[in-house]
Chain A
Amino acid sequence: GQQVQQSPASLVLQEGENAELQCNFSTSLNSMQWFYQRPGGSLVSLFYNPSGTKHSGRLTSTTVIKERRSSLHISSSQTTDSGTYLCALESLGSKLSFGKGAKLTVSP
């Protein structure tokens, strides 16, 4: 079955609100990565996070191995944050198993 469960599948926010995206994984973790995908576009790496908390501007990634979960927090959302956010579990051989993605829409 699916190794990575991502939630929610979609999220609609007003500009300025915060977003919390979750991924749960069922297999051994070597690292969790988060990507951003513009509508119709390619993927851009946001975080490589094997464990703990990492920050990048308004984005925060937290991976808790014992609880088999990773989260992406977006603070003070902006319309330019709209797009799809994907988590990916890295396994042996640097292979990635992706979640199905979370579509974020931020309205002005």
Chain B
Amino acid sequence: EAAVTQSPRNKVAVTGGKVTLSCNQTNNHNNMYWYRQDTGHGLRLIHYSYGAGSTEKGDIPDGYKASRPSQENFSLILELATPSQTSVYFCASGDANWGRTQYFGPGTRLLVL
């Protein structure tokens, strides 16, 4: 089974500060994804990547940047954090072949004060 880890697991940030969420996967999947989960909205896709050096905008990219420096690592960057970005963030990885499932990390709880 694919192993996806996230760090930090919990984060408290101040409004206007910079936050970087990190994700690492050890199963050599090409695709990686960042989601946020909020009550009443379910999971929503922020950014995704098809491989090292590539990033694509998801459904709600505003206020977020992403970076994929290697096959294993995918970061989500909040340059100027706002309270509306308080949420639980999940990273996932998946096989590039059509129709394969995604494997999720444990999540990061972010509180922006």
Contacts and interface: CB of A to CB of B under 8 A. Distances in A.
Contact of A98 (B43, B50, B101): B43
A86 B44 CA distance: 12
Contacts of A48: 99-101
A100 interface: yes
A56 B31 CA distance: 26
Given A42-B106, A43-B104, A96 B45 contact: yes
A44 B90 CA distance: 12
A5 to B, nearest CB: 11
What is the size category of the interface that chain B forms with chain A? 20 to 34
28 contacts: A33-B102, A35-B104, A41-B106, A41-B107, A42-B105, A42-B106, A42-B107, A43-B43, A43-B90, A43-B92, A45-B103, A86-B42, A88-B43, A90-B99, A93-B48, A93-B50, A93-B56, A94-B31, A94-B94, A94-B100, A94-B102, A96-B33, A96-B43, A98-B35, A98-B42, A100-B40, A100-B41, A100-B42
Given A41-B106, A42-B104, A95 B98 contact: no
Interface of A: 30-31, 33, 35, 41-45, 48, 50, 86, 88, 90, 93-101
A90 B99 CA distance: 7
Contacts of B56: 93
Interface of B: 31, 33, 35, 40-45, 48, 50, 56, 58-59, 90, 92, 94, 96, 98-107
A88 B94 CA distance: 14
Nearest to A90: B99
A69 to B, nearest CB: 18
